[in-house]
Structure 1
Amino acid sequence: MSFTWISSYWPLLLTGAWQTVSLLVISVVFGFIIAIGLAFAQVSGGRLTRLLARGYCTFFRGTPLLIQLWLLYYGVGSLLPMIPGIRQSLFWPILREGFFFAAVSFTLNYAAYEAEVLRGALLAVPKGELEAGRAFGLSPWKLTRRIWLPRAIRIALPTIAGEIVMQLKATPLAFTVTVMDLYAVANKVRQDTLLVYEPLLVVTLFYLALTAVIARVFRGLEAQVPVRR
């Protein structure tokens, strides 16, 4: 095996790693925010709200992420240039890039999975704690912000960590819409040097290292905020 190619491709490898991490962070952060709304909509929303939230989760969890990504990139992406003035807008440099569609697709998909995790966690919060909060005179907003949601997140921490790792492993799909993530860089190295295993081993080590970091962070969080059932 030869890894001498790294000296020539390390700037591209760093760029690819940055793209991969950026996709992960964007999709997890914004997806989690959307997931909170979807989870509460299913748990305490009205009939129509619950129906819409469940429909959203069913669609995004029931269809392959690759199809969702291609529908956005090749479907919506091909229609955007037809909108008058869109090419002259400040947003065009962002909207014309595959990274934008990958980030949106990953975010919407992650939100659906995380919403189901949070829904179960919200239902798992002991009712006695919520009743105690109401007895202290907490408003519904304060009860949710101070007791219900934090408690649910603590319960769901191990599952959230697993979902983030799964999201990390989905990021190579961005390669299919021209995003130069780490897997795309490995593919370019393979095409240029005819080396197959070495670039893939570098990518594998990167994903393993990032997974270990995520696991360590969440184990630390679990140790700081132990869940009492």
Structure 2
Amino acid sequence: MEAALGHAILTVWGALGFDAELMARYGPRVVDGLWTTLGLVAVSCSVGFLLALPLGVALVEGGRVTRALCLSFSTFFRGTPLLAQVFLVYYGAGQFRDALDAVGLWGVFRDAWWCVAITFTLNTAAYQAEIIRGGVRSVARGQGEAAAALGLRRGQTYLTVILPQALAQGLRPLGNELVLMIKASSIASVVTVYDVLGATKYAFSRSYDFEVYLWAALIYLVLVETVRRVWNLLERRATRHLRPREA
């Protein structure tokens, strides 16, 4: 599948009039970088969402200490640059090599890809938690009261009543967060991860042909536009019960 998609991408590039020799030499490396980018975004956004669910609920339902801890986490990762966070994890992990080696985690933190994936996950979890918190607060209080009147426990109420409505309300900002993560993934190239931009920088350093950056811009544009269109379909389907029926 990867080979077929890579061939299709190179064919499209050729049809657009890009330099065939340059494309044959560096195109496969850029396609490999595309898979790296997709992997980073998929892992960070999916795991970040799993972390954001309890964080978002805790920001609403937690006690004073719990809310303070969750708010501190959210404030730090939303208030500091993503690039600085990547540097803190990638370069800072080496300061604790002995401790990480003792617990068997140095093998993870010595790999630039995992450092970036962990940083992206924590960063997007903070943003998604705030989106979920806003969605939960948008659900009318009467929904929870009605569920309690039916004998549902608090956990059951959240799983079956509150969270589905909160996520439906937050679909649009969650989609925006996914788009932002796709574009922000280019930061990974700064710490030697050969994603789309990393592979493009390598190609430019060997060829000095600015055309390779047009490849990268086109790839990011296609990714973002694809996600936008797919997310629009998901949002329309998830919120179809909120729209008035046609006559």
TM-score (norm 1): 0.92
- Compared with structure 1, are the counterparts of its residues 129 and 175 closer, same or farther at alpha carbon in structure 2 (3 Å cutoff)? same
Q: What percentage of residue pairs aligned between the two structures are identical?
A: 35
CA distance in structure 2 between the aligned counterparts of 1:84 and 1:146, rounded to whole angstroms: 40
Query: Is 2:203 the partner of 1:189?
Result: yes
Between 58-67 and 93-102, report the one with greater CA deviation: 93-102
1:100 match: 114
CA distance in structure 2 between the aligned counterparts of 1:216 and 1:228, rounded to whole angstroms: 20
Contact 2:100 2:106 in 1 (8 A): no
**Over 4 Å off, 4+ runs:** 84-87
Between 92-101 and 210-219, report the one with greater CA deviation: 92-101
Which letter does structure 2 place at the counterpart of 1:164? Answer: L
Which letter does structure 2 place at the counterpart of 1:82? Answer: D
Provide the secondary structure at the position in 2 that maps to 1:195: coil
Contact 2:90 2:109 in 1 (8 A): no
Q: Deviations over 1:53-74 (max 9, x none)?
A: 1111111111111111101111
Contiguous gaps of at least 5 residues in structure 1: none
Query: Is 2:23 the partner of 1:10?
Result: no
Q: Deviations over 1:41-95 (max 9, x none)?
A: 110000000001111111111111111110111111x1353348559x5x65543
- Pairing partner for 1:212 from 225, 241, 247: 225
CA distance in structure 1 between the aligned counterparts of 2:169 and 2:242, rounded to whole angstroms: 9
2:175 match: 161
Q: Deviations over 1:195-214 (max 9, x none)?
A: 12x11111111111111221
Q: CA RMSD in A?
A: 1.9
Which letter does structure 1 place at the counterpart of 2:166? Answer: A
- Compared with structure 1, are the counterparts of its residues 154 and 201 closer, same or farther at alpha carbon in structure 2 (3 Å cutoff)? same
Query: Is 2:41 the partner of 1:39?
Result: no
CA distance in structure 2 between the aligned counterparts of 1:157 and 1:19, rounded to whole angstroms: 25
CA distance in structure 2 between the aligned counterparts of 1:216 and 1:62, rounded to whole angstroms: 30
Q: Deviations over 1:10-52 (max 9, x none)?
A: 3212210011011101110111111111111110000000001
Q: Which has the higher contact order (CA 8 A, sep 6+)?
A: 1
2:216 match: 203
Which letter does structure 2 place at the counterpart of 1:44? Answer: E
Contact 2:82 2:123 in 1 (8 A): yes
Contact 2:49 2:125 in 1 (8 A): yes
